[in-house]
Homo-oligomer: A and B are copies of this chain.
Amino acid sequence: MDKKNKKVILEPEKSKKYFYYYPQLVVVIGVRDGDKVNFMPCVWNTGLSYDPFLYGVSVGADRFTCKMLNNVNEYSINFLGFEYIKMIRSLGRSSGSYTDKSNEFNIGYSESVLINAPIIDVAYYSLECRKKSSELYGDHVLFVGKVELMHLNEALAEDYIINTKIVSPTLYLGVDHYIAADDNSLISLKNLPFHYKTGEKKKSKK
């Protein structure tokens, strides 16, 4: 083992939080229940299935947004660029239970096409989701949404993956720290041999 990678072994302490699994990409959930519109950033989000296209967001069970998501069957998932980290933080460090976040933080939004949920105007990518299921895991609820429609920054639609020269996705590192992706580090391994062996020397090929 690399000496630089000497390890310590830690037993997770109850009610203590660990953030070593970050950075992870942040999304902002948009939801409407009756007259109430609300937004909440969510770092615990992930793809769950290609076909059908399912996406998961895990929300603290005691969050106001969780109660709203329990009441409704539709919501949006919005991806915002790194220039909006202050807005994202504000949305996360406040509660819809006592404030109208869209008004308080000047969140411009439009209506969804197929569902009843707000789509954030400045998002470079938004998903219109219908709630397929929800499951309580520990102190969070995982909402599984079927993606019905996608709103995408037109310039991004030219490629299959995010063009990090056009948008800078927002990554969360924990404890109010944010970090961006390094466009200069981008590397494609598409053309490597299918079975690349670590440490193998590059061989000339005919």
Docked Cα-Cα span, A54 to B22, in Å, equals 15
Give the total of A residues in contact with B, Cβ under 8 Å.
111
Cβ of A71 under 8 Å from chain B: no
When chains A and B are docked, how far (Å) is the Cα of A177 from the Cα of B178? 22
**Contact (A173, B179) CB under 8 Å given A21-B55, A48-B138, A105-B197:** no
| Majority secondary structure of chain A interface residues (helix, strand, loop or mixed) | mixed
Answer yes or no: A199 CB below 8 A from chain B CBs: yes
Residue ranges of A at the interface with B (Cβ–Cβ < 8 Å): 1-2, 4-12, 14-15, 17-25, 27, 43-56, 58, 79, 82, 84-87, 89-90, 93-94, 104-108, 110, 113, 121-125, 127, 132-133, 135, 137-140, 142, 144, 147-157, 160-162, 164, 169, 171, 173-183, 185-190, 192, 194-199
